[in-house]
Amino acid sequence: MATLRSFLFSNAFKTSNWSYLVCRGFRNRCFVITSIPSASGKSFSPIPESILKSKNFSTSSSLLSDEVEKAKGAKQAAEPTIFSKIVDKSIPADIIYEDEQCLAFRDVSPQAPVHFLVIPKSPIPGLSDAQEFSKQLLGHLLLTAKRVAEKEDLSNGYRLVINNGPDGAQSVYHLHIHVLGGRQMSWPPG
């Protein structure tokens, strides 16, 4: 992050095009939201490749394609998912809420300053697999998302996302609600 910050400050006044660069940093990452148009009208990134390839820097389009690629390769399987392992505490997570039906934990690859997941303890592979008898649990997940968002001080608003199936970019087949906040969301979302 220091390398990127020093590059931005040392090069910020070398071209007027820098005013078009929007960089939002959080949790030791920097996300370029807007590309800079060149004189030819094509967009380019004035940031050196060495910085672009660092682990603390990514662009929203590369994050999207990585997640989409993971989702294309993901399959519903009989073995426990990574989320099942978080529920049974066999792998660590930054758990910020837990009750008898669900838990919430911070996303390991946050897409917003505040990004956490709410998951049911009893696994449902995806929203399309939910049954009529699941409606009380589904309501509980939404209310839990609301309560944890309040606890996380997202009073200006937040976005809930449920990815379902390959076209919905679902990469883990254990129903989960993404809660994203702490910045202005854009529209359309995907």
- Evaluate the CA torsion angle 53, 57, 62, 64 in order and state its sign: positive
pLDDT tens-place values along the chain, 190 residues long: 444 433 333 433 333 333 323 333 444 344 443 443 444 454 444 445 554 444 444 444 445 557 777 767 766 766 789 999 999 999 999 999 999 999 999 999 999 999 999 999 998 999 999 999 999 999 999 999 999 999 999 999 999 999 999 999 999 999 999 999 999 999 988 7
> CA 86, 90, 93, 99: dihedral to nearest 10 degrees?
50
Q: Which residues contact 161 (CB under 8 A, 6 or more apart)?
A: 177, 178, 180, 189
Give the type of residue at 150: E
Residue closest to 116 by CA, chosen among 29, 189, 181 = 181
CA-angle at 106, arms to 100 and 112, nearest 5°: 135
Indicate which residues carry an active-site annotation: 176
Decide: pTM greater than 0.75. no
